[in-house]
Structure 1
């Protein structure tokens, strides 16, 4: 017997999932992800792209039940998702998954929060919608990655629109058929190209995917249909986005294998593209080692720095000589220069003033990035392994390398580091008391009722 279309199988699993069926470790990872999401969204809500999307939301939907985090605004579910999704990705401080070489939470969590607020649900509903959404979108990613990324698509919105659709569908209580239609509609809403990296549109991609996911669900609820085999069909999602012409071997492993366990999530230490993070880690370690040894490295000693990256490096770190904060987030050169000259690569280092510091601008041309022949053999990997050679004016060469950044499941951040990041993002915006209220609630989010959630969102 021919198996059911892939989207129908995904929808069937999603609508039947219950939180008590989810492994405890998956719930634990999800709670960290939602904690990280709240942090980066509140912090990102002041970024220019976020304030523009907030203005856009209020122009289009000035009334509604759903909160725009970091503000006192209320708008419709779809436009809250648009604004919050953009804010959560604006700092490029949000989590990463190697399943997509993208950012899973910023397309799914905005929908889970907005739909829960719309339906007056608590933290358990948000967790369920988030887990279902991420697992579903990463199931699709298994069939089309890495070819999807190799074609130049920004995987965050292209895959994330499916997770957003599932999150909305779960909390709006769709049945299997309606969610299947919604996912099929979402397939025709998927978009986002990597050519917009280094601009405000990159952050907007996350909000757009969340927005489109909600729209897909609301359209399906009105009776709009889609083809349930649109992923695997001729001229369908897989073929059009990747060139893959057959998914006959595609398997549905939802509930048998959990991507949040197997791949996990990467939680960032630095508010910039993850492609530079392994380099920042080993560069930081070298500079600390030399400082402790009484031989701190000085800019005037450096002849040039050669950075050997993997294949993806030059395709996502596209700003070789940045002149503003957004460009700097996609610059290997700025990341290394900032750590040496400013002493850190944190929130305060991504400003126009910091980027255009004369010392930074003088060092940047001395930092050269290319694909390393050995790392090229690894293929199109997202983990961003790196080899760095520092050539000094006295003839000495310093060599460092790193295969994986801290914050990966194999090199996890400590609970204290997670909380420190949350405090750094949230406390300046809302104050100590509200910051700790949020942090406390998120640690036991499955027990938070709607009244508590409403208090957090509205006070």
Structure 2
């Protein structure tokens, strides 16, 4: 049978393409099923943010909101004269707009955007602020810094302020839940990436945004994630919550004037969650919204350092005080820890106080030497104390299966051969062993000492406890500046 040229070409083409087509179809068939369309979580969040009110908040949630605010104000005052804050004030003052808002513990005033940033920096520089243990977000900093700056321009009742604070914390923590731990493990500083959502939610609510404007505010916040874990141990770490506060406030201000965004910036295929994480669990955002509050899982630090080091400090202080162990008698300190402990706090030879906040070696050593874990124990002085330097070389952390990130198993061996052991299941300051109101007050007083006179510090503390009764929440800032 004869074939013309066109037939030959066609037959050859069919022979060449058919296997490729078949392979393509096979590959297509083997692909995993497409993900179901996500719920409109950006809109769902916007609706809930606007529907919340002080009266709808459970009493326990209100109370925890007040405790969170008190703790945040204390650490902001305490950190207000750290070198990092001095640098930020000096750098930004020539470029500040109208002096609309104050800075805790200082005399300077800034425009609200820079005030939000600087108060966010000062409240995080000690790494002593609150921690949502499920995500390791420090939620109050971005939220409170933003709305207290806004309160410098417009009177806000204490009840409205507290509702907005709770809403902002809930928003950022739920979004964090949806992407943690994959997002954090990739190297993002989750306080800086989720913080803008909380700040936008809280500021937008107080500005009276419409539902559509709130959707836009959340979208603009999604476009401004900030912070990488490589910055831990440097001034840059405190930059992240400060920038998150300013970014969220910026988003709300723009949205209030009609600056638009996508309606699905959190959940869309090329939106925030899918771009920034390999995990997206939308139920973490939507389930129990308005009935179950993440602020109930917020914790307050008794020690001024990375949260995963707290069990080690707790154990060291117990052995030091209860078993009367002297640092000079210690031969070695063996620690069984979770992998995250060494990943986050594995600095073996810190040179500065900021680096010491991320050194499990320093944390254990200084706790034995000084019997405490406050800001003084994470200063440049403490990190370079010869006694601490010598002892941290005897600290031997080992990653151990079965040990949770919130636990430690410590064995101390003395030069005479005696051993002492502690297993910390729940460190002080955890959800299971929370700091009491009196402990929070003592922490506040210690942080404010040397920054504000005692009488002024007590006045600020009382205003924090009385937040729901205040006619103007801005009174807290006005009372907390130097010279008030």
TM-score (normalizing by structure 1): 0.92
Which of residues 347, 364, 370 is equivalent to 2:398?
A: 370
Which of residues 379, 384, 405 is equivalent to 2:427?
A: 405
Q: 8 Å contact 1:139–1:254 — kept in the other structure?
A: no
Structure 1 position 276 matched with structure 2 position 298: no
| Number of the residue aligned with 1:456 | 479
Q: 8 Å contact 2:127–2:357 — kept in the other structure?
A: yes
Taking the aligned partners of 2:477 and 2:227, their CA distance within structure 1 comes to 33
Structure 1 position 442 matched with structure 2 position 475: no
Q: How many residues align?
A: 445
Taking the aligned partners of 1:235 and 1:73, their CA distance within structure 2 comes to 42
| Number of the residue aligned with 1:288 | 321
Taking the aligned partners of 2:252 and 2:264, their CA distance within structure 1 comes to 17
Q: Please give the root-mean-square deviation of Cα atoms over the aligned residues, in Å.
A: 2.0
Q: 8 Å contact 1:116–1:125 — kept in the other structure?
A: no
Q: 8 Å contact 2:178–2:280 — kept in the other structure?
A: no
Call closer, same or farther: CA 1:273–1:4 in 2, change over 3 Å: closer
Question: Which is worse superposed, 437-446 or 33-42?
Answer: 437-446
Structure 2: 5+ residue stretches without partners: 1-36
Structure 1 position 297 matched with structure 2 position 326: yes
Q: Deviations over 1:382-425 (max 9, x none)?
A: xx211122233333333221122112232122222111111111
Call closer, same or farther: CA 1:27–1:153 in 2, change over 3 Å: same
Taking the aligned partners of 1:257 and 1:94, their CA distance within structure 2 comes to 23
Call closer, same or farther: CA 1:454–1:249 in 2, change over 3 Å: closer
Which of residues 407, 411, 415 is equivalent to 1:389?
A: 411
| Number of the residue aligned with 2:31 | none
Question: Which is worse superposed, 87-96 or 335-344?
Answer: 335-344
Q: 8 Å contact 1:97–1:266 — kept in the other structure?
A: yes
Q: Deviations over 1:163-222 (max 9, x none)?
A: 011111111111111111111111111121111111110111110110111111122223
Q: Deviations over 1:51-79 (max 9, x none)?
A: 22222332221523111111122111111
Taking the aligned partners of 1:334 and 1:387, their CA distance within structure 2 comes to 17
Taking the aligned partners of 1:435 and 1:247, their CA distance within structure 2 comes to 42
| Number of the residue aligned with 1:347 | 375
Structure 1 position 117 matched with structure 2 position 152: yes
| Number of the residue aligned with 2:300 | 267
Q: 8 Å contact 1:322–1:355 — kept in the other structure?
A: yes
Q: 8 Å contact 1:10–1:252 — kept in the other structure?
A: no
- In our comparison, the structure showing a higher alpha carbon Rg is 2
Taking the aligned partners of 2:410 and 2:55, their CA distance within structure 1 comes to 47
What displacement does 1:250 show?
6.1
SS at match of 1:316: helix
What displacement does 1:457 show?
4.5
Q: 8 Å contact 1:139–1:253 — kept in the other structure?
A: no
Taking the aligned partners of 1:362 and 1:249, their CA distance within structure 2 comes to 46
Q: 8 Å contact 2:351–2:383 — kept in the other structure?
A: yes
Taking the aligned partners of 1:422 and 1:324, their CA distance within structure 2 comes to 24
Q: Deviations over 1:301-336 (max 9, x none)?
A: 333222221121112213221111111111111111
Taking the aligned partners of 1:457 and 1:431, their CA distance within structure 2 comes to 10
Question: Which is worse superposed, 238-247 or 268-277?
Answer: 238-247
